[in-house]
Amino acid sequence: MTKLRRLSLTAYEAPLCETVVDCPQPQGSEVLIRIDRCGVCHSDLHMQDGYFLLSEGKRLDVRAGRTLPFTLGHEIAGTVESTGPEAKDIKPGAKYAVYPWIGCGKCAACTAGEDNLCSTNRHLGISIDGGFASHVLVPHPRYLIDYAPLSPSFAGALMCSGLTAYSALKRLREHAARGPALLVGMGGVGMMGLSIAQALFLHAPIVADIDAGKRETALKAGAAAAFDPSDPEARRALVKSTGGGVFAAVDFVGSEKSLAFASGALAKGGKVVVTGLLGGNFSTPVAMFPLKAMTIEGTLTGTLAETIELMALARSGKIDPPPMTERPLGEAQAALDDLRQGKVVGRVVLAP
């Protein structure tokens, strides 16, 4: 029998360990995927810790409902190994990216196509076993997405960082028609956002990052201008250069300072979408909502329909892949450690 090799979470706040079990036989509509590549994401660090930091030392515990050992990893691309009897039109040997944000299929969110917001979800690598492994079991072929001619590493990255950026930018389409969008935070998701924004919007985006190197990289990648939000004059300069502020902004950082900067740069009628999870509180005079006709909205990953749209955009060559480093699956913990220490540029991708 084929063995399933995994780098498992066996305890929170502890290094991953290799565990080996018999490979599951796909039942019903299930598909067994042999993993080619699985990206390492910041949220894997939070899963390993068992919490997200909210603010002032407060934590959001995310350990509930997960039995250990557990397999992290949600940026998966792989090859069909075998299928259950009801998995139609799927052939062994075919290559797919795997949409990981799978819902229960029954609740109001799932019925509206928002599996990513399902509260009794089956998100791969979050609620059920994911991709730091040789194989993963996918509940239904509808979650498998063709990605040729892209690389499996890029296809995997589109499932989380790419999708998050795309979903945020889609919510700003009408606003971004009025002038350049502001993208705050040029990390992995932000850089993907910069590339997607150039494919979706008429105007080249303006970026903001406290790191000079990241601002430089963003300018080379097509940003119209770059600001340093730690400079006390930056907000005023940005508002002046845009003739009164931006109508569309994404906060890819998600901290008190980043959201203050993004919302402070808005023109009347402007909107900020927040995707970042860094932590912190945000406060503003309530009167600013009507006075500036301001919208602040959050988004969490994206829907299956958005993933299919994004994949079509990427397959047509309109999105640049982020810089990617491949490492063997056995180095999963070292890859997480490097990410935690801020040593990673772009994406790290594990290859079983």
Contact 193, 133 (CB under 8 A): no
Closest CB 46 distance from Zn ion, rounded Å: 10
CB of residue 267 vs Zn ion: minimum separation in angstroms? 32
Region 146-165 residues binding Zn ion, contact defined as CB under 5 A: 160
Query: What is the rounded distance in angstroms from the CA atom of residue 8 to the CA atom of residue 333?
Result: 10
Query: Which of residues 41 and 238 has its CB atom nearest to Zn ion in the complex?
Result: 41
Q: In this complex, which beta carbon is closest to Zn ion, that of residue 109 or of residue 238?
A: 109
Q: Name the H helices within the chain.
A: 42-49, 108-111, 152-157, 163-170, 173-176, 188-200, 212-220, 234-241, 256-264, 288-292, 304-315, 332-340
* Between 127 and 284, CB nearer to Zn ion: 127
Closest CB 303 distance from Zn ion, rounded Å: 12
**Minimum CB distance to Zn ion, residue 6 (Å):** 18
Per-residue x/- mask for Zn ion, residues 236 to 265, rule CB under 5 A?
------------------------------
DSSP-assigned letters across all residues of 90-108: --TT-EEEE------SSSH
Q: 103 vs 179, which CB is nearer to Zn ion?
A: 103
Cβ proximity to Zn ion: between 65 and 244 the closer is: 65
Smallest distance, Å, CB 177 to Zn ion?
29
Minimum distance from CB of 99 to Zn ion (Å)?
Answer: 13
Q: How many CA atoms lie within 13 A of 324 on its CB side?
A: 24
Write the interaction track for Zn ion spanning residues 88-127; mark x where CB under 5 A is met and - where it is not: ---------------xx--x--x-------x---------
Give the count of beta carbons closer than 10 Å to the beta carbon of residue 63: 12
Q: Distance (Å, rounded) from C-alpha 193 to C-alpha 77?
A: 21
Binding track over 26-65 against Zn ion, x by CB under 5 A: ---------------x-x----------------------
Q: Left, alpha or beta for 50 (phi > 0: left; psi -120 to 50: alpha)?
A: left
Residue among 88, 90, 114, 85 nearest 102 (CA): 114
Q: Which of 78, 179 has the CB closer to Zn ion?
A: 78
Number of chain positions touching Zn ion (CB under 5 A): 8
Omega cis (within 30) before 149: yes
Residue with Cβ nearer Zn ion (8 or 43): 43
Residue reference for tokens 């303006």: 206
CB atoms near residue 107 (< 10 Å): 16
Q: How far is the CB of 115 from Zn ion (least distance, A)?
A: 6
- With beta carbons less than 8 A apart as the criterion, state whether 177 and 325 touch: no
Chain residues in the site for Zn ion (CB under 5 A):
41, 43, 103-104, 107, 110, 118, 160
